[in-house]
Amino acid sequence: MLVVRPIEARDYEALYACAVESGHGFTSLPVDETLLKRRISRAEEAFALTTVEQPGEEGYLFVMEDTDTQEIVGVSAIEAAVGLSSAFYHYHVGRVVHHSAKHNVYNNLQTLTLCNDYTGVSELCTLFLREPYRKGRNGRVLSKFRLLFMAQFRQRFADTVIAEMRGISDEDGRSPFWAWLEKHFFTMDFPSADYLTGIGEKTFIAELMPKFPIYVNLLDKSAQEVVGKVHQNTVPALKLLTSEGFRFRGYIDIFDAGPTVEAEIKQLRTVRNSRLMKVRVGRPEVAENVLLCNTKLKDFRACQADVTCNGDDVIMTEETAQALGVAAGDHVRLAAL
């Protein structure tokens, strides 16, 4: 069975393997031992906090584990509040109209303005599922369980949550959008800039990024074509988030121009439709496949399973109960997959 749980120090080698496999453009998983171990430590500290009055710089990092083989098959994370200690940058896509009635000229032009508008919001991030396990509903579980976690521990997160979608780049990590910025402002390739951001070195952005709005029509044509577009491997993730209620509000990544989508946590479909139910251990009849999590923090567990809902009770197998670390009479949070 595949079970999602908080990451632990013993998972470092698996996390490093995921970082290597994730490739270019995956900023939140840099191939850097110090940074990856720091992320694990941050997560352990976040899960150890018994009370949180408001979201801070907690980073909740999870792994998906195959309980039959003890192999880590994927990772997923939530940042409680971004940009509190280091600037969190985006480009906002805007419009400027140049109009001269006298000369019968009307130009409606797109602009990109550097901003920190998402400072303090929560973020879904670091979603990566290893290739052999990209089948069935595994990817859906690895993404959507985070919504159950936020529903269960609502006070730990902001009202708004975002997700940065990976933009278009080739297999060597070359981004058409960054190529234009590199040529005119940075003299630094995309993988290098992406890596620096991943390890928290962001001062070069403030020092080198153009301070004034950029007219999109001045970009190279190849750069114009990728503004707000997602990498082909990210299309399924974007569709899933859109089905939950995430929407594009005109913010893009400053490196690859991939879209950032946002939503109010309380309006997300899984959050709204999730419910707490009492566990009954037995043989589910007329079973439905659902997403489940326990109500624990440090010992959080989530998985998909076939269960039967009967009033306020949910009937599950002994195997499912053990995977979630619950017993008859305990409560779990449940939502449709």
> What are the C-alpha distances in Å from 74 to residues 17, 20, 34, 236, 323?
10, 12, 20, 16, 17
Distance of alpha carbon 237 from alpha carbon 276, whole angstroms: 26
Question: Per the structure block, which two tokens stand in for 120?
Answer: 């303090």
231 in catalytic set: yes
Distance of alpha carbon 315 from alpha carbon 265, whole angstroms: 28
Tally Cβ neighbours within 10 Å of residue 107.
Answer: 11
**Residue 222: partners with Cβ closer than 8 Å, 6 or more residues away:** 176, 179
> What are the C-alpha distances in Å from 184 to residues 190, 194, 202, 216?
13, 17, 19, 14
H-helix segments, 129-214 = 138-152, 176-181, 190-198, 203-208
Among 99, 184, 231, 331, the one annotated catalytic: 231
Give the active site residues: 231
